[in-house]
Structures are given as structure tokens and as C-alpha cells.
Amino acid sequence: MFGATIYSIVAFGAALSLSRSARRPESLPKATVLKPLCGSEPETYACLRTFCDQQYPEFQIIFGVAAADDPVLAVVRRLQQEFPHRDVRILIDRRQHGSSRKVSNLINMMTQASHDYLVIADSDVCVGDQYLAGVVAPLRDAGVGVVTCAYRGVPRSGFWSLMGSLFINEWFTPSVYVAAKGGSRSFAFGATIALRREVLSRIGGFGAIANHLADDYRLGELTRRLGLRTVLSDVEVDVVVAESSLGTLVEHELRWLRTIRAIRPLAYSFCFITFALPVTLLGALFSRGGSVALTLLATAAAARVLLHLKMRRARARPAQFALIPVRDCLSLALWAWSFTNRRVKWRNEHYEVSRDGSALPLGGNLTP
């Protein structure tokens, strides 16, 4: 209980103390943005457009797909017409280089990359017009291997989308801030990874992560083995949360949790303290309402509400406060469930996650 209460206070403090005022250098190198795509969603155009609309001196964007009939190509061609002055390219290549379709896409896209500063971002990410400058600038330091970004979940309409955004905004992202404030840099996120071409070559290129489900984490790990630093950028991006049902929510979050468990098993075992509200509530119940336990519960609850208010961009509605304990109890239940096996589902395919984060494809319909 003590640990969970302390964590809730630290998480709020870490979120409160964030700084977004880093200065950008006047001179920035040419950069290539790699956008691996598969399919189109209602928000895809708006998300991809933000990458074209950057305040940056010179850059190219490569959109890669595996199939010539992918509906996302219509979106990209619309962007080419809208931004004729941008170097926007399309690569269609179905070659598979490992179990990860995303990484195979990146390997194929590198044949068209013109510049030595590379930025990789998932298709559901939306950014501001200073994004590219913010993530490329730290790479001017030769001691930096990877630059990554924290992110906020932006829900679609619907209850489960909202619950998914709470998982990101009020558990995952605060845990990143806490780790960063504590000096840890053992992370890298698919929302953004920026690195230099020569660093990528030194770790063996994208082929080194072709079988990894946690390809983002693995990139950071391999560059740190070279003695290079991972930088958490001051830029924060938005990620569209599209969960449409409890089933899709559980599948998505179990994939995250089981992947984290596979690559960082010891730290993950102690993650229960990050679910401060249900943990302190259980402690209060087991202590039969002892004064110390109730004080810890009240403190954790207050810190949790403050974190909720801090991480929201829009004005909090009273009804949403009732979702805080529901969301936290669901997160604790999924954390416990994640220990039952290593199977995950990603884009209608089933995998078993190994201890190094690589993914072994499995066949058939499997129980989560």
C-alpha cells in the first residue's frame, strides 16, 4: 500500500513538472520520414496530413504499403496533390523479411530514403507543425542514438475508445514520465523513433528487428548497446484510440502488457504498485478500515484525481470521474491476466512473444 500511494504521488509530480520549452537550432539537416501503412481509418487523412504540413527546411516522406489495392493509397495520392512542393513518395512492395509486417515495410522503404536523418512514426499519429524540428534536433549530438516521444491517446466517440485513451494517458504515459525523471532511458515508442542512418547501419539495419513485435523498444536497446543515449523529446504527439468494443480493447492492451512483460520481466512483476487506487482499496478492505490504510487510500485517490485532471486537455466532466476506479481496476485485472501466457493478437494474426521480444507466428483461433 505504501509503495502504491507513493507512486501515485510521484506520477502526478512527474506529469506536473514536464517542460515543453526546448530551443530548436537554426540549422536543421535534411530528413526522411518513414510511414509504414496498412489500411485506412476515418482519421488517417488528418493524421498523415500533419506530417506533410511541417515547418522544416527540407524533408521527404515515404509512405509504404504491401498491396497495390490498399485503400490508404487514395489518401496518400490526395496528399501528393495537396502538397505538390513536398517530396512525398509511395512505395508498394509486398516482400516479407520476417514475422513483423511493419518492419518488412520499413526495410523495403529504405531503398527510397534520400537523407541520413530518419524519423519513423505509426499511421495513427497526429503531430504539430514543429514536430519534425523537435525530434531531429537532438540527433545533432553524436552521443544520441534514438529520439522518441511520449504520446496522448485521443479517443474516437464511444465508451471503449475513451477507456483505451485513459489507459494510455493515465497509466502508460505517466509511467514513462516517472521512469524518465528517475533517469531511465530503457524505452522507445512507435509513435516516434528518430535516428541517424549510420546508427541504423551499425546495429544491422531494420533487418536486426525483422522478427520483433516490440520493434520500437528493440531499436532503442540495440543503439544503447553501442553506448548511445536514448532521448525523450520535449515533443508530445497524439495517437488515435480506435477501440470499438471490450474485446478489441482487451486484445490491444494484452498485446502491450505481454510484450512489456516479455522484455522486462522483473520490472513488470512490480507494476502492480502503479495501479494505486485498486491496490490501496484492497489494502483498506483487508485491514478492515484501519486508519493508516484509509489515509493511504485517500491520498492515492486524491493524487489519482489530480493526475486525471492534469492529463486531460478538455474540461473534465463529472461523469468521467466515476470511470477512474473502473479503468484502474480493469488495468490491474489485465496485468494479472497477462501472466497466463505469452500469446498476443496483432492485425488478425496470432503470435507468441519470446523473452527477447521477437514474435513467433501462430495459427488458428487462440484464447487470449
Q: What is the pLDDT of residue 227?
A: 95
Domain holding 61, by residue range, is 28-242
User: Is residue 16 situated within a structural domain?
Assistant: no
7 and 153 in a single domain? The answer is no
What CATH number should be reported for the domain holding residue 39? 3.90.550.10
The DSSP code sequence of 129-180 is TTHHHHHHGGGGSTTEEEEEEEEEEEE-SSHHHHHHHHHIIIIIHHHHHHHH
275 and 235 in a single domain? The answer is no
60 and 119 in a single domain? The answer is yes
Q: What is the pLDDT of residue 350?
A: 84
Count of domains observed in the chain: 2
User: Is residue 315 situated within a structural domain?
Assistant: yes
Q: What backbone torsions phi and psi does residue 219 show, to the nearest 5 degrees? A: -60, -45
Q: What is the pLDDT of residue 30?
A: 96
196 and 299 in a single domain? The answer is no
236 and 282 in a single domain? The answer is no
286 and 146 in a single domain? The answer is no
User: Order of strands across the sheet with 349-353?
Assistant: 343-346, 349-353, 359-362
Q: What is the pLDDT of residue 27?
A: 84
Q: What is the pLDDT of residue 366?
A: 54
Question: Is the Cβ–Cβ distance between 196 and 231 less than 8 Å?
Answer: no
324 and 221 in a single domain? The answer is no
pTM of the model: 0.90
Sign of CA dihedral 114, 120, 125, 127: negative
Question: Residue-wise pLDDT tens for the chain (368 aa)?
Answer: 778 888 888 888 887 776 555 556 668 999 999 999 999 988 999 999 999 999 999 999 999 999 999 999 999 999 999 999 999 999 999 999 988 889 999 999 999 999 999 999 999 999 999 999 999 999 999 999 999 999 999 998 889 999 999 999 999 999 988 888 888 778 888 899 999 999 999 999 999 999 888 888 899 999 999 999 999 998 999 999 989 999 999 999 999 999 889 888 888 998 989 999 899 988 888 887 788 888 888 998 899 988 888 887 656 567 788 899 999 999 999 999 999 998 888 777 788 888 777 778 776 555 56
Q: How many helices (H) and strands (E) does the chain have?
A: 15, 11
User: Is residue 152 situated within a structural domain?
Assistant: yes
Q: What is the pLDDT of residue 25?
A: 63
111 and 229 in a single domain? The answer is yes
The tens digit of pLDDT for each residue in 41-73 reads 889 999 999 999 999 999 999 999 999 999 999
The tens digit of pLDDT for each residue in 323-366 reads 999 999 999 999 999 999 988 887 777 888 887 777 787 765 55
**Dist. CA 169–CA 254, nearest whole Å:** 17
